[in-house]
Each structure stands twice: as structure tokens, then as C-alpha cells.
């Protein structure tokens, strides 16, 4: 009978330790996640996947528990053009706390080629360089995703 009591006490202590470990993990999970998503492709499917990734992260983690920035450069900048195929969705997601950053270097090249200023979708910001922005965010602890 004494062995049974010892075994039960050991099991109870093990269960308590496991519960404390889970609680500690949950506390760390409460920290705000930070994600940067790179879009450097002009492919509309890839651009949609990037936005789907952002939406899914917000749904799974909670909008208040994750900061998301989508950085577009090179051919990927097309997703941020006002009047483009993705512009309505970009503007809508920008209102839902997803940050969109356009590469200033790419914008200058497009403007020089087209001979007119680039007009971006509502809610899109401009950074000096897309690659530099991604690097800075990673240095701040952002997780990197490239669909």
C-alpha cells in the first residue's frame, strides 16, 4: 500500500510539473510575434499567397498578437500599384493592421521607365530599399517568410 501511495504521489508531482511547463510556454506564447513577408515576384498567385499567409497568421495568432509587414520590391511592387489587380485587397488588409512597404529604389526605376510617378494603393508606405527593410526587420527579431 505504501508503494501505491509513493507511485500516486510521483504521478501527481509529474502532472503538476507538466502543467507548470505548459503554463510557462503559454506565457512566452503571449509575446507579440513579428513577421516580415517578402514579395519580389510579379506572379499574382505568389502575391495572393503572401497576403493569405498574413491573414492566416492573424486568424491563428490573433490580430493583437502578431505584427506583419509585407515588403514588396522588384516585380513584386506591382501588387501595390493603385488600380492594380491586388490594390483593393492590399488597401483592405492595410486597414486590418497589416503593414505594406514599397521599395523606394524600385519605384524610382519604374518611374524613370514610365516617365511618370508611381501611384500606390491606399495604406501603402514607402521605404528607401526593400531588401534593406527586410534586413532591418530581421535584425529586430522578425521571422522571415517568402512564399
Count Cβ atoms below 10 Å from residue 123 Cβ, excluding itself. 17
CB 83 within 8 Å of CB 119: yes
Cα–Cα dist 120/45, whole Å: 20
CATH architecture of 32-145: 3-Layer(aba) Sandwich (3.40)
Is residue 15 classed exposed, middle or buried when 0-12, 13-18 and 19+ CB atoms within 10 A define those classes? exposed
pTM score: 0.80
Q: What is the pLDDT along the chain (147 residues), one digit of tens a residue?
A: 666 455 444 444 444 444 544 443 344 456 899 999 999 999 999 999 999 999 999 999 999 999 999 999 999 999 999 999 999 999 999 999 999 999 999 999 999 999 999 999 999 999 999 999 999 999 999 999 999
Cα–Cα dist 102/71, whole Å: 6
Determine the pLDDT at residue 7.
42
Name the residue ranges covered by the structural domains of the chain: 1-31, 32-145
Write the DSSP symbol of residue 119.
-
Largest separation between any pair of C-alpha atoms in the chain: 90
Amino acid at each position: 500500500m505504501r508503494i501505491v501511495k509513493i507511485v500516486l504521489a510521483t504521478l501527481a508531482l509529474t502532472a503538476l510539473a507538466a502543467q507548470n511547463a505548459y503554463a510557462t510556454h503559454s506565457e512566452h506564447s503571449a509575446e507579440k510575434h513579428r513577421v516580415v513577408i517578402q514579395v519580389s515576384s510579379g506572379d499574382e498567385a505568389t502575391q495572393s499567397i503572401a497576403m493569405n499567409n498574413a491573414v492566416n497568421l492573424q486568424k491563428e495568432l490573433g490580430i493583437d498578437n502578431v505584427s506583419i509587414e509585407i515588403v514588396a520590391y522588384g516585380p513584386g511592387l506591382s501588387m501595390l500599384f493603385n488600380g492594380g489587380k491586388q490594390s483593393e485587397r492590399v488597401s483592405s488588409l492595410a486597414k486590418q493592421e497589416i503593414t505594406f512597404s514599397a521599395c523606394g529604389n524600385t519605384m524610382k526605376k519604374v518611374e524613370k521607365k514610365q516617365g511618370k510617378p508611381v501611384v500606390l494603393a491606399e495604406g501603402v508606405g514607402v521605404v528607401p530599399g526593400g531588401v534593406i527593410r527586410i534586413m532591418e526587420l530581421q535584425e529586430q527579431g522578425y521571422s522571415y517568410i517568402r512564399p
